[in-house]
Chains A and B, each alone.
Chain A
Amino acid sequence: MKRIKIKGLIACIISLSLCGCWDKIEINDRGFAIGIGLDKIGEQLQVTYTIPNLPVITGQGGSGEQKFVKISEGKTIHEANKRFNLMSSNKLTFDHTKIIILGKGFLQDEVEMRKALDYLSRSPDYALSLLVFTTDKTAQEILEAKPNSDEPSSMFIDSMFSGTEAEELNDYKTTLLDFLISLIDTKGGGSLPLLSYKDKEIRMEGITVIKDYIECCTLSLEQLIPYNWIRGSGGGKKTIKKEEYIGKNITYQISQIRRNVEFKKSETKQGLDINILLEMEGDIIEHELSKDKNEDEDFFDEKSIKEMEKELKDGMEEEVNMLVKFIQAEVGVDVLDLSKDLKIKEGKLWEEIKDNWVEYFASANIHVEIVPNIRRIGMTK
């Protein structure tokens, strides 16, 4: 009986001492930073946090804005996070962080960029799947923006780029992991989607190209169209889902592109000859209603289709080759992901030149050939 009592007492002590949560933090006392913005202000790093007002967002009462925007400064992100606690009783939590926005000033500072990326990859608090963006102004401005949407700006940006419904922008999204891998593989090169806030709308304005860990240049939305033909969607996969070529009076909607890249060492000079063949499938979706039925340009005949394909080919090749020359001369970073094809197709050649790939890419003789195929012409002739 005595032994049972002793065992019972021990069981009670263990149960009482091990249960419960002595260092608990209530969910209301947590500051879930959904978006983080990094700006360089003078010598300090400014970190902007968007923290959702949970009772308002979840419709459980409460009042005020849907989000709180808090700003903290420090020499590093960690220091700024610590200083956050000087102005808020909430404990900062990054478990649900969706986006990081890099401001214009931050993008000009190589050391800040390397310090921030090292911190983000070293800390287990940040998911490597969070999305990274740049802006041509300050990150604070984007995070404070009130776009025409029910959601806070950071959640709005995340939903713009994520999910199957975001088919236009999904191809441009870059995760922290993608960006880190790109920087490591290319010794400081990469590309990130560029956001701006105009007329109460947050929109994508192009792509910021990073070289040697700082902003190098920007590809505009117009340049992104041929960029997508040549690069493909989803970070260099061989096909894209949707892209358009709007010619003089015709719109060709591309549904699929097959990219085939061939590499060989140049016979005339030291470097590479790169031939890119883009075979496209697509439909004619727009034209002009004819004034006179006798002058009607009839697509319902193979010869007309062939002529149209030739016209499309010439126009598209001109655009894409201009872009390639611009990228080689002005950007100097392999944003076309040609190294990916080289690794798979010519492994030995890649091993030979990988340390000097940036130079080989910039000096390569790149020729792009496009074969557009028109498969459908819509419901009328």
Chain B
Amino acid sequence: MFSNNDKISIRQLQILLILTLFTSVSLTLPRITSEFADQNGWILIIGAAILTMIYSYIITTLGKMFPDQTIVEYSQKILTKPIGIIISSLLIAKLVLFGSLELRVFGELVKQTLLKNTPIEFIMITMLFTVVYLTRKGYEARARLGELIIFLGLIPIILVLIFALQDIELDRLAPFFTIKAKDFIAGSYYISIAMVGIESLYIAIPFLRNPKKVTKAVIHTVLFVAALNLMINFITIGLFGSAEAAREIWPVMAIMQVIELPGSFIARQDALMMSFWILTTFALINCYIFFITILTSRLIKSKEANWINLVIIPIVYGISLIPNNVPHTFEMMKKAIQTFGFAFVLPVPVVLLVVAKIRKLGVKDETNQN
């Protein structure tokens, strides 16, 4: 029997994190790595994984000190109420902005590749309503759906990509290790802040059945996602070369225009890839909307969170319509990542952790936690 206490297991948290971390960058990752470091971009993924593990360690350590609270409550406790409210509001703003732009990217890609005659507004609204339906069902329902999506969405993507391995040419990944230190640092940093999902740990820990194991589990998850990203980058650059990968807006989607699935008579293989990818994007946008709802309800101390969805939908939809075109969307996304990306993964948790330690707040001994 399924429990219905809105608590999730560590394994379910890992699945949700894999879906969000992977989907937030996977489609464009080879382009980003090529722009920073040409064919040596794979090294940036390792650098980004190390940085993400550091962020995860700090955020989960902070979260474990306040196992029953989200950032809304403990930031107010640690840094006074007004500052806490500002931090929570900024985090909500970040999630709204990123969620909106992700929704727009989703709409653009679906319109470009699958539904050319369908208005993009209709594509985005349909996705938003579906996302909100799940959001209203709570964290546990999200986790259960995540367990399905990982099998229906992510694993088929990986299997399909494996067919591309035979077409890889090693020379497209050469010369090796010619990356400059400056590019390595800049690229690793950018990818680490572009991988959205770690912030969800500010909110997820109170929903965990066993928060003690969260740090180790999250670090394992980051390593797994890094391995997936390395595979995607390796395959894409091995197929296209770094110059062509940097030309493609969605290089991973273009893989489907190249590979031939054995024995198949599928004319539009990219549509097949899209159908898997839509599932993982659904999980990502759902993550944004869900955490916006939770944060807002806790910030305004509302007992009922479902009505907040109805307020969020038009805001997210409205922002997603702001960019004039695809390049503008990606430009806004880049600016959003550069502006908001870093603050909540390192400075905010470090300040909160240090002040909490100084003020001796939170649970000190992990073994005493429930």
Specify which of B112, B177, B239 is in contact with A177 (CB 8 Å cutoff). Answer: B239
B235-248 CB mask vs A (1 if < 8 Å, else 0) is: 00001110110010
Q: Which chain B residues numbered 237 to 272 have a C-beta less than 8 Å away from chain A?
A: 239-241, 243-244, 247, 254, 257-260, 267-270
Would B175 and A348 count as touching, CB distance under 8 A?
yes
- Scoring B171, B172, B241, B270 by chain A CB atoms within 10 A of each residue's CB, the highest score goes to B171
Chain A residues touching B, majority SS: helix
Would B254 and A128 count as touching, CB distance under 8 A?
yes
Would A343 and B174 count as touching, CB distance under 8 A?
yes
Would B171 and A177 count as touching, CB distance under 8 A?
no
Q: How far is the CA of A340 from the CA of B268 in the complex (A)?
A: 32
Q: Which residue of A lies closest to B116 (CB)?
A: A124
Would B117 and A351 count as touching, CB distance under 8 A?
no
B169 in contact (CB, < 8 A): yes
B186 in contact (CB, < 8 A): no
Would A128 and B178 count as touching, CB distance under 8 A?
no
Q: How far is the CA of A350 from the CA of B268 in the complex (A)?
A: 38
Would A351 and B171 count as touching, CB distance under 8 A?
no
B310 in contact (CB, < 8 A): no
- Scoring A126, A181, A350, A351 by chain B CB atoms within 10 A of each residue's CB, the highest score goes to A181
Would A129 and B257 count as touching, CB distance under 8 A?
yes
Would A95 and B171 count as touching, CB distance under 8 A?
no
A127 in contact (CB, < 8 A): yes
Would B171 and A128 count as touching, CB distance under 8 A?
no
Q: Which chain A residues numbered 320 to 353 have a C-beta less than 8 Å away from chain B?
A: 339-341, 343-344, 346-348, 350-351
B148 in contact (CB, < 8 A): no
B325 in contact (CB, < 8 A): no
Would B171 and A344 count as touching, CB distance under 8 A?
yes
Would B258 and A177 count as touching, CB distance under 8 A?
yes
Residues on the A chain within 8 Å of B177, using CB: 347
Q: Which residue of B lies closest to A126 (CB)?
A: B257
A41-78 CB mask vs B (1 if < 8 Å, else 0) is: 00000000000000000000000000000000000000
B209-241 CB mask vs A (1 if < 8 Å, else 0) is: 000000000000000000000000000000111
A95-B268, A177-B240, A185-B241 as given contacts; A124 in contact with B257, CB under 8 Å:
yes
CB within 8 Å of A: which residues of B? 112-113, 117, 169-172, 174-178, 239-241, 243-244, 247, 254, 257-260, 267-270
> Ordered nearest first, which 7 A-B pairs have the shortest CB separation?
A347-B175, A95-B267, A340-B171, A343-B174, A344-B174, A128-B257, A184-B243
